[in-house]
Amino acid sequence: MSRMVLRGAAVVTAVAVAAVIAPALREDEAPYTRARKQMVAQQIRARGIADPEVLRAMSTVPRHLFVPRHIKPYAYEDAAKPIGYGQTISQPYIVALMTELLKPKATHKVLEVGTGSGYQAAVLAEIVKEVYTIEIIKELGEPAKKRLADMGYEKVTVKVDDGYYGWPEHAPFDSIIVTAAATDVPPPLIEQLKTDGRMVIPIGPPGRVQWLKLVTKGEEGPPTVRDIAAVRFVPLTGGH
């Protein structure tokens, strides 16, 4: 894997991080708009992300409103950032890569496991019809729900729960994205994926290098699994 991918998706160890995320208040947005355009040009498009809808979404969503206040000036840097409770908002390139791998369409219904601050869900909501997202940490999930609603992302439905088991009430899903590393592909998520659906998930041991995998479900037989890139994510937690 490239050093860039590993650095950008690096896990931030548990430290005392303010959990208050910057609210969507009116302010001088010009510096952030410039930083966002530069992020897309230099970090995303230049590294091969070509889907026009993904590029548009990454150019639209104000990433600085999904990080703690003191991190706002650094929100568009080429790195993951801490959002509190031992969790991170992924590197912009990784967000774009995982989104593009799903091949999202305007008619799609997507499940996200690991809401975090809500940034990935917002990016998806710029493209697809419906986003269902699950966060196991209440202190992150509840603020993310309010933040996304306040920002007008009506397509996103947030639930605080154990994402390993998916959201069967709204299945099947056209695609599933998991933003924390599991030790294997959760069987409930495979069951809730449509035929020909796509899942992007990091697999590997906690605190070590993992592999971002693309899982494709066929009509018969086991799903096809393809390695995409070496990454490092926080672990998927829960009752499993």
Contacts of 115 (CB under 8 A, 6+ apart): 121, 133, 134, 135, 140, 141, 144, 158
Identify the active-site residue in 2, 59, 90, 117: 90
C-alpha–C-alpha distance, residues 81 and 75, integer Å: 7
DSSP 165: G
Q: Is position 90 annotated as part of the catalytic site?
A: yes
Q: With CA atoms as reference, report the closest residue to 88 among 2, 156, 10.
A: 10
Contacts of 29 (CB under 8 A, 6+ apart): 62
Q: What is the number of alpha carbons within 13 Å of residue 80 lying toward its C-beta?
A: 28
Catalytic residue numbers? 90
